[in-house]
Amino acid sequence: MGEFKVHRVRFFDYMPSGIRALAFNQDTERMAVARMDGSVEVFHCSDRFFQEKIIPGREQCGIEGLSWVGERLFSAGLNGGITEYDLTNQKVKYTIDAYGGPIWTITGNQQGTHLAVGCEDGTVKLFEVNEDQIQFERNLDRQKSRIISLSWHPSGSKIAAGMMDMIQVFNVETGHSIHRMLADRGAGTSRSKECVVWSVVYLSDGTIITGDSVGMVKLWDDQTGTLIKSHNVTKCDVLALSVSQNEDSLVAGTSEGIVVQFQFVSMVLEKDDKEWVRTRTFRNHTHDIRAVAEITTAVVSGGMDAQLVVRPLLDKIEVRSAASALRKIHFPHRRLVSCARKSGLMLFQYPGHLELWRLGESEGKGTPGSSLFVKRNPEKLLQLKVKGEDHIRCSAVSPCGGWIVYSTASTLRLYRLHCDNNNISITKISKLPKVLSSANQLCFSSDSSHLFSASAQSSVHIASLSQSGCKFVGTLKPKSGSHQAIHLLAASEDGKWLASANSDHEVHIYNLQTQKAHCTVPVYSSAVTAMGIHPATNCLFMMHADQQMFEYSIEQKQYTDWSRTVQRKGLHRFWVERDTPCLNVMFNPQNPSHVILHDMYMLCIIDQSLPLPDDKTQFYNQLTLKSLTEEQRKSQSHAFKVCKTFKDILCVELMPDQSLVVVERPLEDIATQLPAPIKQKKFAT
C-alpha cells in the first residue's frame, strides 16, 4: 500500500446547519431539504440519497416551509416571501412577497393548482400556480392568531390550519371556516402557555391529525369537529408529522429527538375497523426534530442536530440490501476544501467566508503509526468575507497557490494572491469578463494558467490567467443533452482535456486545445460523485453514487479493459454496501496503477494491477496480510486496500511530496457546538 506522511487537519470548523423542513416528491423520488441557513438541497431517494443539488442560502433568510408543486419547488420563510427555485441551474428563480408578515407554512394541493401559505397576521393566502409564476388569488377568512401549519384535504376542497390553541377547517371554495376545534393546553404550570399546533395532516377519510406543543398527537373528525383520540407522545413538543402515501402510517417527530410511528391497523384481524395505534419509536437524533417525511420505504427525519436520518421501514422493503440500510447524512456530498498542491495551501469554504491555511511542516522519520515532530505549525493566512448576503456556492484555489476564486449566486470574484515569506497580500481582479458573472463549479488547470467556470446550460467558460489579469478565451458547450447544472469539473494534468459532470448523470469531455466537445461518456443510471483524469494514461476515472466505478479512455473513447473487467466480475459486497459516496479521485504519480479514493469513513487505494476480489474473498484483509509470509501475501492480496484509521473525513488530497492531507471533522466536535438538547431524565443517572 505504500507509506505516506499524513497531515491530519482538524482545524476546519465546518458546522452543518440544522434542518428546518423536508418535502418529498413522490413522482421524481426527490427529497428537498431546507436548512436553517436558508440553503435548499435536493436528494435523490432512489440513488442512495445522493445530494444532487445544492442551492446556497442567504443571510437573514429563514425558510419555514417547503413544498413541491409538480416538479417545481417553492419555499416560504419568516421574511414574508415565497421563493421558487430554478432547479436546473440550482438558483433562486424569483421571490414574491405575500404581504402577510412572516410566513410559517406553505403547502401545495395535490392537484398542483394552488399554494396555500399561513401568515403571521392570521390569514391563509391562496396562490394560483401559473406556468411561469405564481399569482395571489385570495385570502381565506382571517383569524386572530397566526397560522402555524396547514394541510390540504387530498380533494383540494378543504384546508385544515393549525394555530395557537386551535385548529380551523376552511372550505376553500367559500373561504369560510367550517369547524373550529380547540386544542387543550397542558396541565399544571404550562396551562398559562399557549398550545401551539405545530403540525397538521388532513387525511382523505376526513381525519385531521395534529401534533402540538403539549406533546399530544390528536385525531379529529372533520364531519363533527370532535376529538376522536389523543395519544400522549412526549412531555415536550410534537414538532412535525408526516403521513405515508397510502395513509396507513404516520410519523411524528418530537423535540426530544424521537420519531414515533403510528399505524392504521385493524384491531381484530381480517376485519375492517381500523384504528391508529402507536407502534415503533426511532431514536436517531439528539436534538429537536424539525421535519419528518415518510417516503415509500423509509422515514426521513432531520432537525437541529443537522443530520438527515433515513430509517428504512423493513416491512415495506422487498429485498434487504445496502440501499435499504439506516443512513445518516452528516456532510454535503460536495467538496468544501480545495488544495493548492504545489504550495501546500488549503482553502476552506464556509457559507459566508473563506479561510486559507498553510500546512505545517514536520521533520524526522517515524515508524508507521507514530507521530512526527512538527517543525512549523499550520497557519491561517487569510480570511475572506463574502460581499453581499449570498452564501458561497463554490470556490477554488489554483494549484500554484496564486489565485483564489469563489462564486455566489450573483457574483464571481477572482483574487491574486501574493505570498512572499510571511507577507500575504491579496488583490482583487477587477475587470472580469462578463460571462464570468456566476458559476456552478470552478476549477483551475493544473498549470494554473486557466480558470474553468461551469455556468448555465451545462456550458463551461474558459478564462486565461496572467499577471495582467483575466481574459475570456472561449466557451465549451455540449453537443446535445440536458441543460442541468454541472457539479463536477476535472482537468487533465497535461492541460489537454476537461471533463464535466452534470446532475443528469452526463459526463462530457472537451478537448481544450481545439475548445470543442470531444466525446460523451455513456450515461450511467447513477450520479457521478467524483472523477479524475489519470495524469499518465489520460483515462477518466469516475465514481458513482451506487459505488460503481468506471474508467474511460479519453483518447480511445471507450471504457478501458480494467473497467470492463470490473463490470463483468462485479464489485465486492462490502464495497457496494458502503453508505457514503466517494468524494475525490486521486492518482499517485509514483505508482501509476494506484487510484486513491475516499468517502466519509475510509480511504481506499485501488491497485489496478492486482486481481479483483470476489464475494468469497476477505475484503478487509490488511491485518490478515500482515501475518502472512511474502509469498502467501501475493496470492491473498487483492486490488482494494481500505484504511479506516481516519474518521469523519471531509477531504483527502495527495500532495506532490507523497504526503496525504486528511481533513477530518469529528462528529463529536460538531455535537459539542450544537445548542443544548432538551434535558431528559435518563434511568440510572
Partner 1 sequence: MVETSDIRVVRCGGSKVNLTPPIISSDSRFVLCTSGDLVKVYSTRTEEWLHSLQGHTNQVTGITLNPANHLQVYSCSVDGTVKLWDFIDGILIKVHSGLCVSACPECFQLVSVHLPKSAEQEVEAKEMSAVSSHISKNPSCTAFGRGGEYIAFARHLQLNVYFFRKQKTYSFSLKATDKKGAKNAFTCIACHPTDDCIATGHEDGKIRLWRNFIHKKEYTYSTQHWHHNAVNTLCFTPEGTHLLSGGIESVLVQWQYGAGNRKEFLPRLGGSILHISASSDGQLFCTSHSDNKITVIESSFKVCGVIQGLVKDAVLTDLMIDPRSKALVLNGKPGHLQFYSLLRDKHLYNLDIVQQEYIYEAGLDQFEVVKAAFDIKGSWLATVEERGKKSSDLEFFLKLWAFDERTQSFVLNTTITAAHTDRIISMCFSSSEETTMLVTAAEDSQFKAWCQGADADTQQDQNFWSCDFVGSYHKLNPTNCSFSADSSLLAVSFQEVITIWSPDTWEMLTTLCQPPGVIRDLCFGRLSCSKYLLGTTTKNLLCCWNLLTCELEWSTSVDVSKLQPDPFSENVAAFSYQSKHTDLFVFKPSEPRPLFTNKNVCSEKVHRAVFVPREEPLNSCDESTQWLNRSQLYFLTQNMDLLTFSTATEEDRMLSSSKQLVIDDSVAVTPFYLLLGKHRQQQQKLNTQSHPHNMALPLLLRVPGGGLLHTPAHVLPAASVLCSMFVNSFLISNTGVQQDPLRYFVHIWLT
Q: Which residues bind partner 1 (CB under 8 A)?
A: 231-233, 263, 265-270, 275, 277-281, 314-315, 683-684
What DSSP character marks residue 164? B
Nearer to partner 1, 93 or 235 (CB): 235
Quick one: 93 or 280, whose CB is closer to partner 1? 280
Query: Smaller CB distance to partner 1: residue 261 or 349?
Result: 261
Work out how close the CB of 680 gets to partner 1 at its nearest, in angstroms, rounded to a whole number: 13
Beta carbon of residue 165, minimum distance to partner 1 (angstroms, whole number): 23
Q: DSSP 3-state helix, strand, coil percentages of the chain (rounded to 5)?
A: 5, 50, 45
Report residue 587 as a C-alpha cell: 492518482
Which residue number, 154 or 186, has a Cβ lying nearer to partner 1?
186
What whole-number distance in Å separates Cα of residue 129 and Cα of residue 107? 12
Q: Can you tell me the distance from the alpha carbon of 424 to that of 9, in angstroms, rounded to the nearest whole number?
A: 22
- What's the residue count for the chain? 685
What end-to-end distance do the CA atoms of the chain give, in Å?
A: 47
Smallest distance from partner 1 to CB 219, Å? 12
Contact 116, 109 (CB under 8 A): yes
CA distance 650 to 10: 10
CB atoms within 10 A of CB 453: 30
CA-CA distance, 446 to 450, in Å (whole number)? 8
CB of 240 to partner 1, least distance (A): 18
| Of 266 and 427, CB closest to partner 1 | 266
CB of 255 to partner 1, least distance (A): 16
> Is the Cβ of residue 314 or residue 372 nearer to partner 1 in the bound state?
314
Q: How far is the CB of 231 from partner 1 (least distance, A)?
A: 6
Question: DSSP assignment of 406-436, as one string?
Answer: EEESS-EEEEEEEEETTEEEEEE-----TTT
Nearest approach in angstroms of CB 260 to partner 1 is 8
391 contacts: CB under 8 Å, gap ≥ 6: 37, 38, 39, 56, 57, 58, 59, 351, 352, 408
Q: What are the residues facing 86 on neighbouring strands?
A: 91
Give min distance, CB of 47 to partner 1, in A.
Answer: 25
Report residue 45 as a C-alpha cell. 431517494
CB-wise, 246 or 480, nearer to partner 1?
246
User: Smallest gap, in angstroms, from Cβ of residue 232 to partner 1?
Assistant: 6
Output the smallest distance, CB 620 to partner 1, in A: 20
Of the pair 268, 676, the CB lying nearest partner 1 is at 268
Nearest to 527 by CA among 508, 548, 510, 541: 548
Nearer to partner 1, 213 or 455 (CB): 213
Residue 125 grid cell: 393566502
User: Per the structure block, which three cell numbers stand in for 71?
Assistant: 416538479
Q: Which cell numbers in the block locate residue 557?
A: 473513447
CB of 189 vs partner 1, minimal distance in Å:
20
What element of type H or E holds 19? strand 19-25
CB closer to partner 1, 286 vs 449: 286
Angle at 442 between CA 422 and CA 92, to 5 degrees: 120
CA distance 35 to 56: 10
Rounded Cα gap, residues 36 and 22, in angstroms: 12
Cell 489554483 sits on residue: 398
* Residue whose cell numbers read 383569524: 143
**Nearer CB in complex with partner 1: 267/623:** 267
State in angstroms the smallest separation of the CB of 192 from partner 1.
23
Q: Which is nearer to partner 1, 27 or 315 (CB)?
A: 315
- DSSP secondary structure string for all residues of 296-345: SSEEEEEETT--EEEEE-GGG-SS--GGGS-EEE-S-SS--EEEETTTTE
